[in-house]
Structure 1
């Protein structure tokens, strides 16, 4: 971020978006560079037109691009607005971590480079805080500062009871890069799951739209053909235990909340231990653990420097024990990575949109020529 000199003192201040902030939301830009400006103030400025990006009105959720200019009111206006916002809650200071918490987090690290740290998240540990959730990965990230100048940043999530690969960025620049990789679906994620029963089709694609289930306060999702967002999951059966259970590999091609859990329950094969979506059918007899059997096994994502991060995480003890109880061979779990079709990548979608726009322009040009001849 660089600040340009305004032409007049009452014109406010103008900032240029740096490369490290490319793709960041406007409200997040303020939190990063002008933290004294609250979200309510940013929203008010946007509504009243005092906040401009490249001279145009904007909204707090709009994303920025490197090189754009942001015009904000003068510093004294920020100070006045902040002083009059007496209802704002003071920012809570994070208490220092204990030696036990620091050692706990560092023991989870399975990959580390200058851009990212990858941990093998245990089941039962939430990624972020919430109601009645005080202990979570985000609150323990100070343990992973290590030799970096700043605190690591979350760029994606795993459900509390889902174990496995979780990546955190070591800088704001890396966070922007990885966030874009996850949102554009260029990052490839592989999950292992044990499911109740065995699908009749052993290699399939589930395409069922997902939405929040009414009456649950957003705590539960469901398949909704009319209002749901598109969701796609590739599944492959690794091994089967008669007709009782199967060990499957899951690859989400979209990133909806609880997508894998909803999709597997929707086709009649809930993930073992997932009573929320599978009900009683999600639990097996014979000593199989009642914990969730969903594990983020592998993550492959391009690094900011042009390299690639490709990490696998060992499943938790209860998952490994269930694999053994059901007679599965642990060596059979590694299947070739399902590569996306070019049309499914961000570049492919962008090209398809461009080609469609070009075709429409050509069609309109032909219509104008036809009217001219007539």
Structure 2
């Protein structure tokens, strides 16, 4: 599960994270992004550090900073909502509308039985996602999500509770049926850098999207 490099310069890397590769070492063991950090040094002394997070199942664009100063600036850009993020997801059924904006605040809950998850809550942290349907194959819509905020599981919860239809394969906010993983892909990332040219990266749709009939074209 070697991550391909989509963008590289002296202060940043964007890698194409494969679905199924977690950022942190799983408690039960197994491969993680940490196994590839040494390779991703690419001749630099410092190891690159992820600036944001992608779920284990989510594939696509992941930004890593190559020095502490860059990490601080990139993290601030995410915090200040300056980063443009484009995700593609397959939802588990037909949608009544073609596009819209979901505004649902989110909070974390935890139970001994089910573990933790995010839920909509009036007193939660604000979360905003713009969406539009791009295509439909076999009754399954391909949806573009452009989140303004970066809450944990935001798109997954907004699909299930905002669209009324979870992402295909999502075992937490949906039935988990229809796909081997939660069908969400971080397709594009643009990070402004002041006077420097922005970081711009795009990741092609993975093979499991293509199997269901979807393509970048």
Report the secondary structure of 2:116's partner residue. Answer: coil
Following the alignment from structure 1 to structure 2, what is the Cα–Cα distance between the partners of residues 308 and 329?
26
Counterpart of 2:58 in structure 1 is 162
Counterpart of 2:208 in structure 1 is 318
Cα distance, 1:268 vs structure 2? 1.6
Cα distance, 1:140 vs structure 2? 2.5
User: 1:260 aligned to 140, 155, 161, which one?
Assistant: 155
- Identify unmatched segments of 5+ residues in structure 1: 1-100, 332-374
CA contact (8 A) 1:174 1:304 kept: no
Cα distance, 1:329 vs structure 2? 5.6
Cα distance, 1:166 vs structure 2? 0.4
Matched pairs, number = 215
Cα distance, 1:220 vs structure 2? 1.2
Counterpart of 2:117 in structure 1 is 220
- Identify unmatched segments of 5+ residues in structure 2: none
2:68 paired with 1:172: yes
Counterpart of 2:186 in structure 1 is 296
Cα distance, 1:209 vs structure 2? 1.1
TM-score, normalised with respect to structure 2: 0.91
2:49 paired with 1:153: yes
CA contact (8 A) 2:205 2:215 kept: no
Matches within 5 A, 1:130-149: 130-149=26-45
Counterpart of 2:142 in structure 1 is 247
Cα distance, 1:315 vs structure 2? 2.1
Following the alignment from structure 1 to structure 2, what is the Cα–Cα distance between the partners of residues 255 and 203?
20
Following the alignment from structure 1 to structure 2, what is the Cα–Cα distance between the partners of residues 218 and 303?
39
Moved beyond 4 Å, runs of 4+: none
CA contact (8 A) 1:237 1:246 kept: yes
Counterpart of 1:371 in structure 2 is none
Q: Kindly provide the CA deviation profile for residues 268-309 of structure 1, in whole angstroms up to 9, marking residues without a partner as x.
A: 211111121112xx534xxxx332210000000023662111
Counterpart of 2:93 in structure 1 is 197
TM-score, normalised with respect to structure 1: 0.54
Larger Rg: 1
CA contact (8 A) 2:160 2:174 kept: yes
CA RMSD, 1 decimal: 2.0
Cα distance, 1:238 vs structure 2? 0.3
Larger RCO, structure (CA 8 Å, separation 6 or more):
2
